[in-house]
Amino acid sequence: MKISTFFRQTLGANLSNSRWSWGAYQPNSNRLFLRVWDDGIETVGGIERVPVYWDEWKSKSAGFPERKRHVELLGNGTEGYGVVCTAVDADPNGNRTIAKFDEATLLKLGKLIKDGTRLYAAIIGRIPVAQLRDRQTGYSTLVPDLQSIASKKPTVTTKETLANARVGQGIFRSEVLAHWNGKCAVTGSTTLDAIRASHIKPWRDSTDAERLDYHNGIPLTATLDALFDAGLISFDKNGTVLISDALDDAERQTLHVTNQKMLRTPSDEAAGYLEYHRENIFTESK
């Protein structure tokens, strides 16, 4: 699993930028998650600690000022956790690349400790990731998404169109269903009361144009929609259902997701959105 996907899907905290962000803040829970290096963990004076910031940082990356803001949040009492990463290279002063990271356990970060030019966070515990797991779904982000629409400056009509699209209604739903001949894209069900028209590329990650693009929608029965939204299933470029390792064989049979495929091959436009879903939302492994 990519670390950006881990932050998004497992921790429920979106990185500002998947390339240069070194951490993410989750405002709903007031939690902060920081990438830290395993070879930086040390015990000094009986206190286990890990570096989170240093004044001599020479990188010009946008991640540097963001980390400074995150450390300020930590110092002001935000609940902090460290995602422990192992670097490809041994040099702690260069631009390091992640070889792997701990998907099972997080460091619980405590008080900040200034030591020379470096700022450390005390390690006050280790927490199983499952204890904090907060997967972002269309349901969990509905309120902040609608608040975002309300704060926009477009016309009332535009706001209404966007709001309807966000909840899978209005013109967006009509166009998505029309594109699939009024059927669930997988089962072929025509019971519209049981079919949801949701976004493939999540609303929170889409531009306004993408939010209204019917190619970015897929009609699925409620169970399939919930699994797709949570990243437990996805689709390959041919429309074959991909299933997360998080669902064991018994659950796959119970949910009827084994050997399933879309009624037809996705359009080229939809294929692009599905690629985004596979790379950023789909939880391929546990």
The residues spanned by each domain of the chain are 3-132, 142-280
From the list 18, 35, 27, 115, the residue with the least C-alpha distance to 71 is 35
* Weakly modelled stretches of the chain, pLDDT under 70: 28, 56-61, 91-94, 133-170, 285-286
Structure tokens at 35: 């990438």
Per-residue pLDDT of 124-152, as tens digits, reads 999 888 777 555 554 444 444 445 545 55
Name, in order, each residue with C-beta under 8 angstroms of 12's C-beta and a sequence gap of 6 or more.
26, 29, 133, 134, 135, 136, 140
In the chain, what is the greatest distance between 2 CA atoms, to the nearest angstrom?
Answer: 69
Per-residue pLDDT of 255-265, as tens digits, reads 999 999 999 99
Query: Could you tell me how far CA 49 lies from the centroid of its own chain?
Result: 28
- pLDDT recorded at residue 154: 52
- pLDDT recorded at residue 141: 46
Tally of helices (H runs) and strands (E runs) in the chain: 10, 12
Q: Can you tell me the distance from the alpha carbon of 250 to that of 52, in angstroms, rounded to the nearest whole number?
A: 43
- pLDDT recorded at residue 29: 75
Q: Can you tell me the distance from the alpha carbon of 149 to that of 159, in angstroms, rounded to the nearest whole number?
A: 6
Element (H, E) at 163: helix 156-166
Label residue 102 exposed, middle or buried (CB < 10 Å: 0-12, 13-18, 19+): middle
Is 76 within 8 Å of 38 (Cβ atoms)?
no
Going by their DSSP bridges, the two strands 79-87 and 31-37 should be labelled as: parallel
Q: Could you say which DSSP state residue 286 is in?
A: -
